[in-house]
Structure 1
Amino acid sequence: KFTQARDGMSIAIYSALMKVYAYCGMYDKACGLYDKIRADGLEPDSMMYGCLMKFSVECGRTDLSRELSERAPSLDIQNYMSLIRAAGRDKDVDRAFSVLAKLGATGVVLDVAAHNC
């Protein structure tokens, strides 16, 4: 697992840049960093995968959110909620229920917030 690319960019630097883009509402630019990260031979950590999933849903790149969920080492409840939102954005009710079922299979106790994402 690499933390720094040859040109001096590190996961920490990419993460900071990604957060600046997101803070400015430039979610698509934040997501665009994912390709650069991979091209530099770096691997996002779990936290970055989660942020990228959220940002990809915000900018309508729901295909990217699915790809990220498959690559992420683990998913937390927030990640699952992002995937459900992505399915909703795509008007794909079956996929939303499928994600909810996967979340339920993890053994996490679902509260009202999870059912009202």
Structure 2
Amino acid sequence: MSTELNVWHSICSTWDSASGLGQVWLDGKPSSRKFISSESNIKGSILIVLGQEQDSYGGGFDITQCFVGMMSDVHMWDYTLSPCEIQNYMSDLTFTPGNVLNWKALDFQITGRVLTEDKQKAGL
């Protein structure tokens, strides 16, 4: 999947723990589904780190492995979204915000050089 630089993109990844199938959607277009791992559950306390690869749980950060760019509308669910739900989000139709992570209700801690600002509308 190739992407144009310096424009907003939408990325959605899904994983069904029962079947083990995962899929990535880029700007509303699905990739092929691939087997990742089945009958697995994510265990332990939840720590979500955005924009930084980590080498150990909650740490091992390397400045050369950090995300550089802008990020908005991050959501996470504890179930697999249907293609219809993903398309509704892409079409700015009604969608159910994440029940694990909801960007608009996010309680976060900023670490390092991070700028937060209101979302810009496309074309402005």
Give the TM-score, by structure 1 length: 0.27
Point out which structure has higher relative CO (alpha carbons under 8 A, 6+ apart). Answer: 1
Higher helix share: 1
- Larger Cα Rg: Structure 1 or Structure 2? 2
Give the TM-score, by structure 2 length: 0.26
Higher strand share: 2
